[in-house]
């Protein structure tokens, strides 16, 4: 059911969104908690786990990684980017309570929408009754969002709330080098440092530029040296 629903919505999980490609840095405790939850190592853990952090800290990556790991382990799971599917209506959540893990991204868009809040409450109850897990990502903790349904707010706030921290400069470089390595690229420290000086310090944006550099290096058959990275970045900014 969940796979068919996701396919009909055009949702595809990228192959790169796995735990192995997530550089945890200061967020290792969050990663450990997610691995323990989905691995059944914490049977007494609450039904809902909520993760939040600023843009670029990897909320979407981790939700998709949980789904990928669950599928690999033979467990049923679904990932829904709520900001993309909210126009389909709250009936979309019906039936997902039968799954082992349900991952909802950008949950802040539901706050204040009573019909969606009631649907999310029903989903939480169904998962709780069947021993399933609800993993939710938002741009703020649930207590800071304007949920109108008191019972829902109580359940979300009473779950496990985890905060993702931004990476510092050295960790951003390590994260870029890890992503490059997984793509079969060598990204020297000086090239990564050059990227950080010239680009916004947002890992989502940095990874997107790394994808462009990968494609450009393949076409030009050149390594990711500082001169080549500079050349590609200048072409991006050219009118």
Residues 115-144 pLDDT 10s: 999 999 999 999 999 999 999 999 999 999
**Band of pLDDT at residue 239, cut at 50, 70 and 90:** low
Nearest C-alpha neighbor of 17 from the set 95, 75, 103: 103
Q: pTM of the predicted model, to two decimals?
A: 0.87
Average pLDDT, the chain: 89
- Edge-to-edge strand list for the sheet holding 77-81: 77-81, 101-105, 133-138, 48-52, 160-163
**Residue 73 and residue 88: Cα distance in Å, rounded?**
30
The phi, psi pair for 50, rounded to 5°, reads -115, 125
Per-residue pLDDT at 235: 87
Q: What is the pLDDT of residue 3?
A: 43
Taking residues 32-57, what's their average pLDDT?
A: 82
Mean pLDDT of 205-225: 93
Angle at 19 between CA 109 and CA 82, to 5 degrees: 15
Give the pLDDT confidence score for residue 16 in this predicted structure: 73
For 136-174, what is each residue's pLDDT tens digit? 999 999 999 999 999 999 999 999 999 999 999 999 999
**For the ranges 43-47, 69-73, 155-159, which has the lowest average pLDDT?**
43-47
Domains of the chain, start order: 2-163 (3.40.50.300), 169-237 (1.10.8)
Determine the average pLDDT of the residues in 64-68: 92
Going by pLDDT thresholds of 50, 70 and 90, the confidence category of residue 37 is confident
């Amino acid at each position: 059911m969940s796979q068919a629903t996701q396919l009909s919505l055009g949702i595809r999980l990228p192959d790169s969104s796995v735990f192995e490609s997530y550089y945890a840095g200061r967020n290792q405790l969050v990663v450990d908690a997610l691995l323990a939850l989905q691995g059944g190592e914490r049977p007494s853990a609450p039904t809902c786990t909520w993760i939040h952090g600023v843009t670029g800290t990897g909320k979407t990556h981790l939700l998709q990684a949980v789904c990928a790991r669950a599928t690999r382990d033979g467990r049923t799971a679904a990932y829904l980017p709520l900001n993309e599917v909210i126009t389909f209506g709250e009936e979309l959540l019906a039936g997902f309570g039968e799954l082992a893990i349900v991952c909802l991204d950008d949950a802040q868009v539901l706050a204040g929408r009573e019909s969606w809040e009631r649907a999310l409450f029903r989903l939480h109850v169904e998962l709780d009754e069947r021993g399933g897990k609800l993993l939710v990502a938002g741009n703020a903790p649930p207590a800071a969002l304007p949920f109108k349904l008191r019972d829902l707010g109580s359940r979300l706030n009473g779950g496990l709330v985890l905060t993702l921290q931004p990476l510092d400069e050295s960790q951003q470089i390590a994260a870029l080098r890890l992503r490059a390595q997984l793509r079969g690229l060598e990204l020297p420290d000086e090239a990564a440092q050059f990227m950080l000086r010239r680009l916004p310090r947002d890992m989502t944006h940095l990874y997107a530029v790394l994808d462009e550099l990968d494609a450009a290096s393949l076409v030009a058959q050149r390594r990711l040296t500082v001169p080549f990275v500079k050349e590609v970045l200048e072409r991006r900014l050219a009118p």
